[in-house]
Structure 1
């Protein structure tokens, strides 16, 4: 299999983010339509969710074939998409799919919390190659990411329960990604302070 470092960056990003953007576009296209299948009426959101599941699985299969690797986060996300997306379609109830991000962020936050209680940074195990930090830096960053995950879980609950489906879809597509990106942008000071240098100036 191909080495992940040799995969074209644009192709990799398209496979990772393409399904979510496709979900957003398809929802905008079908949101006001109702489809009758087998005598049951399905809103556009439910039909788009049904289509999103195989698209996501196919994109992840392509990523695995190209890189020979899928992160634990990707695998957990895929499982929850299948479970909650399947429940949404089977029960014809969009609430299950809207709850999915809540559960994802709660699980990730809880996993980081368990690692911290064991004196370990499980975030380091999945991101060390991207950001080489000293152990103290990883522990601080892990605590902060843990609270971000819990905060996003709460935020998702507030938005899908109090706002329209269109607002929630926009939030899920762009808001969650922007929030995570914005958080890491604010951690520049931590990265500078705890970065592992090629050579220790004190030596």
Structure 2
């Protein structure tokens, strides 16, 4: 199936956020209907699982492939959502951002320790930077992911479900966008050069 660039963007956005949007919409619906927070969260988990499954299916049918991050996120939503429903324990859903961000952060740090740049493998075609730039960007993202994991733990353990749901989506997305924009000066500093800039001299 041949799609215009605009349609491809819509499909990819649906794959990225379809499950989370369904989750948020269902949670708000049940809360407005007077359902208690804990039960609304459980009911919204059904929407998360269904929405994630549909989003992955649509993405694969339309494009015959799914990018790594949306695929990992969608499968994780199906896995943790299914566990939550099976055991009827919303804590399993709440720890998903902790687990996933910890895995991402440690994977990036592990790549750096092995003198690899896993972030470059994922983004290298769209951004041209020397290895030093990729190392710094990878370290920044690794620390950010670990910080998100810690923040998620703090929020779900200390705040009511209403707050955690808002933090989960769109809160984490907003923080990620802000952080990514904050990395633009670093990428501009190193972009389109074959060598890193000279070290600063005091």
Whether TM-score is above 0.5 comes out as: yes
Q: Which residue of 1 aligns with 2:27?
A: 27
The answer to whether structure 1 residue 182 and structure 2 residue 184 are counterparts is: no
For 2:15 and 2:127, locate their aligned partners in 1 and report how far apart those are by CA, in whole Å. 23
Deviation at 1:54, TM superposition (A): 2.1
Please point out which of 143, 150, 153 is paired with 2:149. Answer: 153
Q: Is the 1:123–1:138 contact (alpha carbons within 8 Å) kept by the matching residues of 2?
A: yes
CA deviation string 1:16-64 (max 9, x = no partner):
2232122111101113426xxxxxxx81211210221121111112112
C-alpha separation in 2, matches of 1:189 and 1:83: 37
After TM superposition, the structure 1 = structure 2 runs for residues 43-62 of structure 1, keeping only pairs within 5 Å, are 43-62=39-58
Cα RMSD after superposing both structures = 2.2
The secondary structure found in structure 2 opposite 1:196 is: coil
- Residue aligning to 2:168: 172
Match of 1:115 in 2: 111
Query: Are the aligned partners of 1:109 and 1:146 in contact in 2 as well (CA < 8 Å)?
Result: yes
Aligned to 2:84: 88
Task: Provide structure 1 residue ranges, at least 5 long, that are not aligned to the other structure.
Answer: 35-41, 199-203
Q: Secondary structure at the match of 1:43?
A: helix
Aligned partner (choices 38, 49, 70) of residue 74 of structure 1: 70
Q: Mark the runs of 5 or more structure 2 residues left unpaired by the alignment.
A: 195-202
Corresponding residue of 1:39: none
The offset of 1:140, in angstroms, is 0.5
Task: Check whether the contact 2:49–2:81 (CA below 8 A) recurs between aligned residues.
Answer: yes
Secondary structure of the residue aligned to 1:8 is: helix
Q: Alpha carbons of 1:191 and 1:146: their partners in 2 closer, same or farther (altered >3 Å)?
A: same
Give 1:4 deviation, angstroms: 9.4
TM-score by structure 1 length? 0.85
- The 1:81–1:104 alpha-carbon spacing in structure 2 relative to 1, beyond 3 Å, is same
- Inter-partner Cα distance in structure 1 for 2:6 and 2:63: 8
Q: CA deviation at 1:6?
A: 7.5
Task: Report SS of the residue matched to 2:143.
Answer: helix
The number of residues matched between the two structures is 191
